[in-house]
Amino acid sequence: MAVGAKKEEESIEIVKPRNDKREYRRIVLDNALQVLLISDPETDKCAASMGVGVGAFSDPEGLEGLAHFLEHMLFYASEKYPLEDSYSKYITEHGGSTNAFTSSEQTNFYFEVNADCFEEALDRFAQFFIKPLMSPDATTREIKAVDSEHQKNLLSDAWRMSQLQKHLSTKGHAYNKFSTGSWETLEVRPKARGLDTRQELLKFYVENYSANLMHLVIYAKDTLDKAQTLVENKFHEIQNIDKSSPRFTGQPCSSEHLQILVKAVPIKQGHKLRIIWPSTPEIRYYKEGPCRYLGHLIGHEGEGSLFYVLKKLGWATSLSAGDSDSTNEFSFFKVVIELTDAGHEHFEDIVALTFRYIQLLQKSGTCKWIFDEISAICETAFHYKDKIRPSDYAVNIALNMQWYPPQDWLVGSSLPSKFNPGIIQSILDELVPSNVRIFWESTKFEGHTDMKEPWYGTAYSVEKITSAMIQEWMAKAPNEDLHLPSPNVFIPTDLSIKDATQKTAYPLNLRKSSYSRLWYKRDTVFLTPKAHVIIDFNCPCAGNSPEAVVLTEIFTRLLMDYLNEYAYDAQVAGLYYGVSNTNNGFQVTVVGYNHKLRILLDTVIERIAKFEVKPDRFSVIKELVTKDYQNFKFQQPYQLAMYYGSLIVHDQALPWDEELEVLPHLESDNLVRFYPQMLSRTFLEFYVAGNIEPKEAELMVQHIEDMFYKGPMSLSQSLFASQHLTTRVVKLEKGVSYYYTAEGLNPSDENSALLHYIQVHQDDVLLNVKLQLFGLVAKQPAFHQLRSVEQLGYITVLMQRDDFGVRGVQFIIQSTAKGPKHINSRVEAFLKMFESKLHEMTPEEFKSNVNALVDLKLEKHKNLHEETRFYWREISDGTLKFDRKELEVAALKQLTKEDLIGFFNQYIKVGAPQKSSLSVLIYGSSHISEHSKDKSELGEPDNVVIEDIFSFKRSRPLFGSFKGGIGLVKL
């Protein structure tokens, strides 16, 4: 029986983008649940997101992390669907994904799934908010999962510094809390007080999960009327206790927490300055956008800006500014500056120049033309917004629903439209010395602090700073020319869609020469005024030694550095560029509105052609690159395992420590000599897609060819046939298990990690789909068994792997609970258990999984960026199967359960004769004592322990490459 709901779309018109064909309707169920229905007949996936207006701020005293723990527990099971993990299994088997997160004032649950399975998935989802089980058995296991998540965060500077800012606030205020929870807060301390965590959890759920505090977004393929009926039937049973929305009044920072300088010791090398003011929440004035206006100016990077001056002085490498940690009651305006070593020594000057820029804004008054420019940029961005994943879209709107009136649920704060100088001035008046908190992070403070933050153990000290001190600093600071930005010339004015005379399903090889190859794909699907241009500079000299790799990286970063003040306006206006090093050279990408894209691209190319090395900037970039290499050892252990895995199987990969070793000896003169050598022989691979005509694309390529190869001062010559390099992959021997063991690089990190990689085959349509089907069928059972049941670690993943067309599958697990050898044995135990599950699979289950994979493959690209990423991968790997999806779907439809079992028995099964596996075992500090014993035990028959990576690589054959010479499709 359908239950009534108020339909309110007649009275409220929801503002939506001009190019958005989707339909929207707001309804309120009888239990006061507010719902936004979205109908998109073109979608392949349907989605739902439930925002519950209760988060970590509502945690009871002494039960820190309870809201987050509840988020974990709801996923397990419900009275209607009591089988543990059946919800996640259903979603995964039907081409979907699901997740949740807890923020300060909201907990959000979401999923997406194939459209034809949406109704049942939605029913399972709804039961979490009606009658969840939260079994006693799952409680202890999931507290361990929460603790494992906390262990993962312990050595993260982002988490540590965020908690330190909270710690230095008013005790008893919600902002002061520790939000994620741990074994200590959810098990040890409650037990010591005689509390039963599960009972507290049930109580918290009953008292807070009320329908009137919930906001639901439904993204459906059906009509709005059908979606409404579905929601009314599924969600009307959620209880409504008419609970008042939690409010956390009062400012989190009293006078003792203002006018302070906090010196803190981070984990990673480097120096960072956070200048913070408690401020009026932007949410109250979202149409006036005062923080957006001030953030735009204080965070500007063009000539005359604060960052421009700090960069010119050699003191800063990045700067951002804006509203942060915002609620209805309080907010913080933050300026975050990454400092160089020299900048660290000029701390007072940097603070002074920041306040001097704020003083400039006070004197200049609020400029209408600047507000109008911001407003125009925001309006264009809103109306030409790309489609994104349905679940991401649903989550974004569910978050907005808690804060904004219904007509602005899609807009949020993204359309400032009311110019109000008084409101902007009132926020500016809050950015004063008497209201400031300065957090200064540097490893140089090690041994010079006297306090520790209790949850993460961050070392810090606090000093008082007065307005008078800051005034003194301002008087002594360098007298630099700070001024407001000039009008932005990159704002697009021509947003017309060009007529496409020729419709092509796949990229065309439009132009070919000994210097370059142009792939072109006209946009006839998304019909937005945008384009995507990729230029791959294939330079054999760029990757042939550690020195060459490092110099190429410094070159690309210097190029970005030089372009910044010119091209920053382009980024603000929605035109993005990037220059990055690749395995065999470097790559230029320009993406965004096509109207002025060519102007930006020509400038980037000109800067490459006329590149000069400025010794002062070289020193700054070298310092940055050095710190990045030094900070390599602070990666998460699972990332280190993935690094070693790639180092072992990628033929030309070089180790980070060799690159770090050569760095100190490289000077600007080395780059002066290296740059012309790098570009002396090069081949350019172009991909041009979007709202650009073929002739435009060809002229673009011709212009760049002329500049590099044909001018009086030409830099480059075409590659010799022997110089067309490819990245090749080491072929692991069949029937052999390889092991590589290493101790973690950070002695403070207790986490160990395992990468268990199974190499299967080189790109082949039939084998691809068998491997993908195995991955789909095994993914959720692996997560459930290894993460939920055995609690090996929060990070537990089974995923596909593709190394330049060589396909495989890998398990990645990070753990403090168990050592990597034990984890590896549990992966093998899972594979043995999974073998019987594979045989027990019913014909219906097999067909359902095949259909899910077919739907996944037939899913349309949602935007130009997604489409470009797909086709560029085919081009860069050399596989060129632009019709890959269609070929693989045809193969999938022919598969039988016996084919899948045969594949498993041949390539995946423990002990399979054709199986090639590589296990990378990383030992954290809590398991380091097991390392040598484990290593000696691994060397059994048919096991090979890799002692020296490079000797091993030299001893193994390589897979052939798909990349041929000029114009060749395959070797």
Mean pLDDT confidence for 825-831: 98
Phi and psi based region of residue 322 (left: phi greater than 0; alpha: psi -120 to 50; beta: remaining): left
Q: How far are the Cα atoms of 118, 399, 470, 599 from residue 49, in angstroms, in the given order?
A: 13, 9, 47, 41
Quickly count: other Cβ atoms within 10 Å of residue 247's Cβ.
12
- Residue 21 φ/ψ, nearest 5 degrees: -90, -5
Q: Over pLDDT 70: what percentage of the chain?
A: 98
Mean pLDDT confidence for 81-86: 93
Mean pLDDT confidence for 5-18: 73
Which run of H or E residues covers position 95?
none
Checking if the pLDDT of 663 tops 80, the result is yes
Q: Which of the residues 64, 142, 282, 301 is marked catalytic?
A: 142
For helices 931-938 and 820-840, angle between their N-to-C axes, nearest 10 degrees: 50
pLDDT in tens, 20-51: 999 999 999 999 999 999 999 999 999 999 99
On the 0-12 / 13-18 / 19+ scale of CB atoms within 10 A, 365 is exposed
pLDDT in tens, 237-279: 999 999 999 999 999 999 999 999 999 999 999 999 999 999 9
pLDDT in tens, 337-387: 999 999 999 999 999 999 999 999 999 999 999 999 999 999 999 999 999
Alpha helices in 631-667 (DSSP H): 637-649, 656-662
Question: Which residue from 461, 439, 444, 346 is spatially nearest to 158, judged by alpha carbons?
Answer: 439
pLDDT in tens, 487-499: 999 999 999 999 8
Under the banding of pLDDT at 50, 70 and 90, the label for residue 587 is very high
Q: Is 142 a catalytic residue?
A: yes
Which residues, 6+ apart, have CB-to-CB distance to 536 below 8 Å? 582, 585, 587, 684, 685, 686, 876
Distance CA 176, CA 189 (A): 19
Which residues, 6+ apart, have CB-to-CB distance to 643 below 8 Å? 635, 656
pLDDT in tens, 98-155: 999 999 999 999 999 999 999 999 999 999 999 999 999 899 999 999 999 999 999 9
Checking if the pLDDT of 7 tops 70, the result is no
Under the banding of pLDDT at 50, 70 and 90, the label for residue 470 is very high
Distance CA 310, CA 611 (A): 23
Q: Which of the residues 64, 71, 750, 888 is marked catalytic?
A: 71
Distance CA 783, CA 88 (A): 10
Phi and psi based region of residue 922 (left: phi greater than 0; alpha: psi -120 to 50; beta: remaining): beta
Q: Is 659 a catalytic residue?
A: no
pLDDT in tens, 891-925: 999 999 999 999 999 999 999 999 999 999 999 99
- Residue 568 φ/ψ, nearest 5 degrees: -60, -40
Residue with tokens 């990383």: 922
Pairing of strands 530-538, 97-102: unpaired
